[in-house]
Each structure stands twice: as C-alpha cells, then as structure tokens.
Structure 1
C-alpha cells in the first residue's frame, strides 16, 4: 500500500519518496532544480500570499491557518485535477509533499496531507457503496 507523506525539501531524495510535489508558493532558498528533484510544483494549490503572511509559521497561528487553508483548498478550481494526480500516483508509488520551513508539524504540507487523505477516503467510500 502506498501513502502520502511530508518531508523537508532540504532532505535528500530517497527511493521511498516516490512522486515528489513541492507545496510552497515560493521557490525554496538555496535549492537547485536538480537537487529538488520535483515531479510537480503545486504552486496553485499552495496557501495564498495573504494566508502565508498571516500564518508566518507561528505555532499559535496554526489552528486558524489550518482552517483557512482547508477552505482555500476546497474552493480551489484546480482541486479535482490535483486530487486525480495524487490518486493516480498513489496507485503505484508513494507521494511526498515537500515544504521548506524548519517546522515539521505546523506547515501547509501537513494540512494538505490531511485534506488529501480525507478527499481520497471520501472517494473510496463512495466507490464501495
């Protein structure tokens, strides 16, 4: 069974990464395209500039950021395409959501991971019903 996982883009790529998606709107400092080894840059699925600046990677802002980013993901016109891309790759490999921040628990990739897992779970329930 393949899974969705989160990882800092500054960590070395491994075989377990599978399909690598950058979840940041801005390109990470000090990372070359070769080192990033991206399969996809989900720039349009990343948090809006307003949300990113409001959150400012502060733990105390995370609950509100999570709620607002989830709402942005729900309203994103590219969400169905993005979910389909992730679903397609999960059929044969892991999907790794990459982020640049040093904060491992409070970032947009963690929110996106939870959102994707919920969407894919809902789809699975609909198909098995």
Structure 2
C-alpha cells in the first residue's frame, strides 16, 4: 500500500517525500512549475468549482464539505481510478495543496477518502 503524505505546494520539495502530486483544480498563484517540483497534476480529482466556492475554506462547513466532496469522487470513478493508478506506481507520494489552512483543505479530505476506501496507508 502506498504511503501518502500531505504538504503545502509552496513548501520546498524534500528528499524522501516521494512523488509530488498536485490535487488542486487551479495552479497555485505565483509558483513556477520548476519550483513546485510537481510530477503529476490531477486537477480532475479536486473539488468542483461550485463546491470550492461554497466551502470558501470555512472550517464550520468542513464536515459538509467532506460529504459533498466524497459524493463528487464517488460519482467520478474514472478519476479515482486514475489517481489510484498513479498511487500504485509509487511506494510514497505527497499530495500537494495551495490553501493556507493545513487542517481544512481538499488534500486532507482526499487522504481521508482514500483511507476509507483502503487505498492509503
């Protein structure tokens, strides 16, 4: 099973963190592709624009955001399959996100989803 870490995309790549996968729908502001050191950008696995705007990084909406996001993922099995395919090819990956909130972002929710479905260690 793949070991998955989470890190803000603006943090420098560190040795041993595995393959870096950006899981945001939009490219992070002010960050060059070289500096980001992203191997895969899976924008389709990110929450929809409508869900992102509704959530607006409001911690009071976190539980509902996760439920809605998980429903979006369940409705897109091909997107989840693509993510699992990328994960299966690497012993360790780091999911990258741009949000400032380290506890309430789509990468945290995505890791929870993957753990619930037996995909992540």
Structure 2, unaligned runs of 5 or more:
none
* Cα distance change of structure 1 residues 12 and 121 upon mapping to structure 2, 3 Å threshold: closer
1:73-88 aligned at under 5 Å gives the runs 73-76=73-76, 77-88=78-89
CA distance in 2: counterparts of 1:101 and 1:82, whole angstroms:
20
1:48 aligns with 2:52: no
| Matched pairs, number | 119
Match of 1:119 among 100, 114, 117: 117
Residue 34 of structure 1: aligned partner: 34
* Cα distance change of structure 1 residues 121 and 23 upon mapping to structure 2, 3 Å threshold: closer
Is the Cα–Cα contact under 8 Å of residues 87 and 120 in structure 1 kept in the other structure? no
Structure 1, unaligned runs of 5 or more:
123-129
Instruction: Give 1 or 2 for the bigger CA radius of gyration.
Output: 1
* Cα distance change of structure 1 residues 2 and 103 upon mapping to structure 2, 3 Å threshold: same
Report which of the two has the higher share of helix: 1
Q: CA deviation at 1:118?
A: 2.5
- For 1:98, what is the secondary structure of its paired residue? strand
Q: CA deviation at 1:2?
A: 5.3
Residue 24 of structure 1: aligned partner: 24
* Cα distance change of structure 1 residues 97 and 121 upon mapping to structure 2, 3 Å threshold: closer
* Runs of 4+, deviation exceeding 2 Å: 117-122
Q: CA deviation at 1:84?
A: 2.0
Which deviations, in whole Å up to 9, do the C-alpha atoms of 1:32-69 show, x marking residues without a partner?
00011111001011000000000001100111101100
CA distance in 1: counterparts of 2:35 and 2:67, whole angstroms:
32
- Say what the alpha-carbon RMSD is for the aligned residues: 1.7
1:5-20 aligned at under 5 Å gives the runs 5-20=5-20
TM-score by length of 2: 0.91
TM-score by length of 1: 0.86
